Structure 1
Amino acid sequence: GRGRAVSFASLGLNTGQALLPLAFTAGAAWLGWRGVWLCVAMLLCLLLPLAALLFSRERKPETPAGTVPETQGWTREQVLRDPLFPLLLMAMLPPAFISNTVLFHQVYLGELRGWSSGLFASAFPLYALVTVGSLLLAGWLVDRFSARALLPFYLLPLGLGCLVLGTVEGPAAAFLFMALYALSDGFSLTLFGTLWPEVYGVRHLGAIRSAIVPLMVLAAALGPGLAGVLIDRGVSYPLLLGAMGVYCLALLPLMLAVRPALAKRMAG
């Protein structure tokens, strides 16, 4: 099904997050950092013909039951006018906003807590491992229940993680946050590839994604900057973390209210 296909395709990102920093460090010790980047460039050049070959044949997957038929896909203009679209964005943008905010200000949080500067970096292998498991679970659940059925619940771990990070002063809070964030992130990666075609169809999916991805990039850029401005104005950073956690948890009832409207529309 589409859910498992998207989750398997997303595994490459998390495998790279877990292995590439270690591989680059080892390679730099042997070849130097310039030599490693040269090898990376050569590898990309070798892979381009293979990628072109794989994309040379058009693939037409079957439309899963309970989704918009390909012949009835929404246009980008229709999606942007859809009153439910902003509500869906409210649930899909927080991972980018929150994760960039936390990782950008990790040194400041470490100073507040008295943590070592490398604490968050040491939690990345745990993050990658949990995300891989979350991806596989999310793909199976999407195929079994649908993306819109999972939407109200996937931010709960991230919300709890923000609350932990904002209230717990011990270094274990960083590892617990990264594990909880990874649970939500695996579902987020799967939902991003399955929710939009499920709700709006695949006929104009490229145009629809071209409107959504810039908003996600904007959210990722706004998070650290907005938090920095508030911190400079004297707002407590742990308080900001708690507020982001409360926002994630507050989306549960809102998305539960949106879900029947989506189901009714797609059934009709």
Structure 2
Amino acid sequence: MKGQSRNPEWSSGWTLVMAAFFGSSLQNLPVYSFGVFMLPVAEEFDWSRASTSAALTLFAMLVVPFGPFMGGQIDKRGSRALALPGAIMLGLAFALLSLNNGMLPLWFALWALVGLAALFIKTTVWTTAVSSVFTRGRGLALAFTLSGLGLASSGAPILSRLAIDNFGWRSAYAMIGLGWSAAVLLILYLFFFDAGDRKRRSIDGSRASATSPGGLTLREALRTGSFRMILASTLFLNIIMAGLAVHINPILISQGLTPTHAAAALGIYGFAGTFGKLGSGWLLDRFHGRIIAPIILIVPALAALVLLQPLTIPLALVAVSLVALASGAELQALTYLTTRYVGLRHLGKIYGTFTSIVAACIGIGPVLAGYIFDLTGSYHLLLLGLIPVTLACSFMLTKLPPYPEHATESV
């Protein structure tokens, strides 16, 4: 952040970005710990991986119908009004997963509670708040914000494995859920204030009062070819990438690694994902998205090619790094493109729709990956299918037009 010190946005907004970073990590905790918990839970109750993964589908699908509504609430009430209660509810709901007694209906009900709590702290909350304060440095600011996913993706598997090995999966759910949410809640309470909050508190008031965001309504955005291309790329890419991300631990084990080595290899996931976000954010502030985004979307195909090989530990590190790099940069790029093509006036509702699609993909992808494994006994078909999907999405984004005027607000 020091390199951005000459930009007044960073001088006054770095604490917001820091808080959003940790908030984003809590949001992603259920998804990135799921793969480690999935095996001991499924083995204890003799569930198939598809059945176990179906709970994550329910978790994700709850976001789909409510995403635009929650985004509209952000536009009306501000991000802080949702983030603080959301952090409390998510921690409690995640801890309640320890009550699973082997009945699938109870397992699904508990994950439904996690999904309802997660509605309050989805990506829309963090990106809308940061975008309201940052204009010139928005790409890098969003990159730092979304790097919280990297903290979850690297920290959650390791902490989950350590807690499960030492205390069992039931205690692990309670310890990680309550501990992680309490730390994040404190940071949000102290530092998470968007442009509206700053104006009301007379923090950076001159900038907040001078900002007059323009942009499209949701209906207007859906009529534009650029937003439809972004949504289509998001849909197809994230279905298969979500399955890969959730099942990456079992994939590594199926390709020859021990569970301990697989968990250790996943430790690099967060660092690589963070590098992908920060690097793509820096590039998107300097070059057009129709140049950067298609390049980013080629990386998952390279990852699939590596994962199709018998894995040694060094090769596994390469594969995990490529998956994480692609996941981090892809989300960052599509988020940035959304803010640029639709503007800020109704960003909460529009990005809520965007995250609903991502949530649907997170729900469909893991079950699809689990079904492929149950049907074929391996993940090879998933990896082979990923290659043409990512290449097609990459080509689609090369057709994006120049940024419209409303997407560039004066500073």
Question: Per the shorter chain, which TM-score range?
Answer: 0.7 to 0.9
Determine the C-alpha separation between the residues in 2 that align with 1:239 and 1:37: 34
In the other structure, the counterpart of 1:12 is 148
| 1:128 aligned onto 2:270 | yes
Greater RCO (Cα-Cα under 8 Å, separation 6 or more): 1
In structure 2, the CA distance between the partners of 1:245 and 1:235, relative to structure 1 (3 Å rule), is farther
Task: Say if 2:216 and 2:346, in contact at 8 Å, map to a contact too.
Answer: yes
Task: Say if 1:7 and 1:189, in contact at 8 Å, map to a contact too.
Answer: no
Task: Say if 1:75 and 1:208, in contact at 8 Å, map to a contact too.
Answer: yes
In structure 2, the CA distance between the partners of 1:41 and 1:136, relative to structure 1 (3 Å rule), is closer
Q: What SS class does the counterpart of residue 310 from structure 2 fall into? A: coil
In the other structure, the counterpart of 1:88 is 230
In structure 2, the CA distance between the partners of 1:180 and 1:80, relative to structure 1 (3 Å rule), is same
Q: What SS class does the counterpart of residue 311 from structure 2 fall into? A: coil
| 1:206 aligned onto 2:348 | yes
Determine the C-alpha separation between the residues in 1 that align with 2:177 and 2:324: 29
In the other structure, the counterpart of 1:49 is 189
The percentage of aligned residue pairs carrying the same residue is 27
Determine the C-alpha separation between the residues in 2 that align with 1:157 and 1:86: 22
Determine the C-alpha separation between the residues in 1 that align with 2:179 and 2:350: 36
In the other structure, the counterpart of 1:170 is 311
Letter in 2 for 1:162: A
**How far did 1:2 drift?**
1.0
Deviation per CA, 1:73-97, whole angstroms, max 9, x where unpaired?
1111122233443322232345643
In structure 2, the CA distance between the partners of 1:141 and 1:37, relative to structure 1 (3 Å rule), is closer
Match runs of 1:149-164 below 5 Å: 149-164=291-306
**How far did 1:219 drift?**
0.5
Q: Which of 165, 172, 191 lines up with 2:333 in the alignment?
A: 191
Q: Which of 235, 238, 248 lines up with 2:380 in the alignment?
A: 238
Deviation per CA, 1:18-61, whole angstroms, max 9, x where unpaired?
446656858x979x866676555554554453146667214649
In structure 2, the CA distance between the partners of 1:96 and 1:252, relative to structure 1 (3 Å rule), is closer
Structure 2: unaligned runs, 5 residues or longer: 1-136, 200-206, 407-411
Task: Say if 1:147 and 1:198, in contact at 8 Å, map to a contact too.
Answer: no
In the other structure, the counterpart of 2:256 is 114
Q: Which of 223, 230, 243 lines up with 2:365 in the alignment?
A: 223
Letter in 2 for 1:49: Y
In structure 2, the CA distance between the partners of 1:163 and 1:140, relative to structure 1 (3 Å rule), is same
In structure 2, the CA distance between the partners of 1:85 and 1:120, relative to structure 1 (3 Å rule), is farther
In the other structure, the counterpart of 1:66 is none
**How far did 1:152 drift?**
1.4
Q: What SS class does the counterpart of residue 177 from structure 1 fall into? A: helix
Determine the C-alpha separation between the residues in 2 that align with 1:89 and 1:207: 14
Task: Say if 2:147 and 2:274, in contact at 8 Å, map to a contact too.
Answer: yes
RMSD: 3.5
Letter in 1 for 2:189: P
Deviation per CA, 1:159-217, whole angstroms, max 9, x where unpaired?
11012212x11234432221112222232232243111111111111110111111101
Q: What SS class does the counterpart of residue 209 from structure 1 fall into? A: helix
Task: Say if 1:231 and 1:237, in contact at 8 Å, map to a contact too.
Answer: yes
Determine the C-alpha separation between the residues in 2 that align with 1:62 and 1:131: 35
Structure 1: unaligned runs, 5 residues or longer: 64-68
In structure 2, the CA distance between the partners of 1:99 and 1:50, relative to structure 1 (3 Å rule), is same
In the other structure, the counterpart of 2:404 is 266
Determine the C-alpha separation between the residues in 2 that align with 1:137 and 1:104: 24
Match runs of 1:99-110 below 5 Å: 99-106=241-248, 109-110=251-252
Aligned residues: 255
Determine the C-alpha separation between the residues in 1 that align with 2:263 and 2:374: 25
Task: Say if 1:96 and 1:220, in contact at 8 Å, map to a contact too.
Answer: yes
Match runs of 1:19-58 below 5 Å: 19=155, 25=162, 39-40=179-180, 42-44=182-184, 46-51=186-191, 56-58=197-199
Task: Say if 2:158 and 2:264, in contact at 8 Å, map to a contact too.
Answer: no
Letter in 1 for 2:371: V
Q: What SS class does the counterpart of residue 229 from structure 1 fall into? A: helix
